[in-house]
Structure 1
Amino acid sequence: MMKKLLSALLLSTALLAAGCGGDEEEAHADEEGCEHLQEGPAAAVTAAVSGTGPAVSNDHKRYDIALVDIAGGKGGAVSFAVSEATDYVLYMSAPVPVTVTNSSGAAVEFEESATSSSLCTDIKGRHVVPLTVGTHTLTFGPSTLSSVSLVIEESGEHDHAHD
């Protein structure tokens, strides 16, 4: 079953690749995000009630984030240090609300936001956000869930080396 699913995924990716470059790049990022959501490697972190929280990165890892008690339910914050100004995709394992603020505390608007991906049913949140160089804060919640998994990928094509 898994081989059939993988074959179908590879075939659909190849068909997308034959289309325009934007679709290919999006499909590649979704493939990467899905792979890391499913297979890791994983790092466990606990979100901070306030402040910037523990660091997460776009280092081909799944961050399993334990959400803490906040007003209205569960949530918290983590920080993401951006070294290259570009669009990033936040892949999440659950539809937990998330906001992004820059180092000045200003909200960063998502370019697109979805609760699924046609390439991967494990993606329950997919948010494309343009980020500048510096440290950004990702704030989750409020939610009824006690955890969420997060994978961050660059939106466009990039060289990928498995760690």
Structure 2
Amino acid sequence: MQPHPNVAAVQAALDTAGARDAAGRPSQVRILAEAAPTAAAAAAQLGVEVGQIANSLVFAADGAPLLVLTSGAHRVDTARVAKELGIEQLRRATPDFVREHSGQVIGGVAPVHPGRPGMRTLVDTALFTFDEVWAAGGIAHAVFPITPTELERLTGGTVTDVA
């Protein structure tokens, strides 16, 4: 069975970048038995803490896309992030905006994807309390393990407090 095109693209991006998990092995996208559109659902299927899920949230920041990779254990403080970045209006993006700028749908947006070069990205400092985190692999059934440091490197994200 051929993988979904988004999953294949995410795996290719991980392979090209030489992404590694906490054990130093190449990071591999895994297909879950059930869709995991929330951090709690993903954590339950993986048997990890909800804080280890790196939620990929797309926001409209003065009309431009902003990807925030946040720990599944808390919510993004949009007022704080907007103030820190000097953004006048920061709001959750619509499903159409997310698809337009990421090539993926809400619940499966991967932090690495060749269809999204240059999207400004923030990486939550809370993710760095874990040796390994899990991020979406392009669809709601797919995830991959990665270290927070690798996540920062691959996305070119800015590490910041987002909660």
TM-score range, shorter chain: under 0.3
Question: Between Structure 1 and Structure 2, which shows a larger proportion of strand residues?
Answer: 1
Larger radius of gyration: 1
TM-score (normalised: structure 1): 0.26
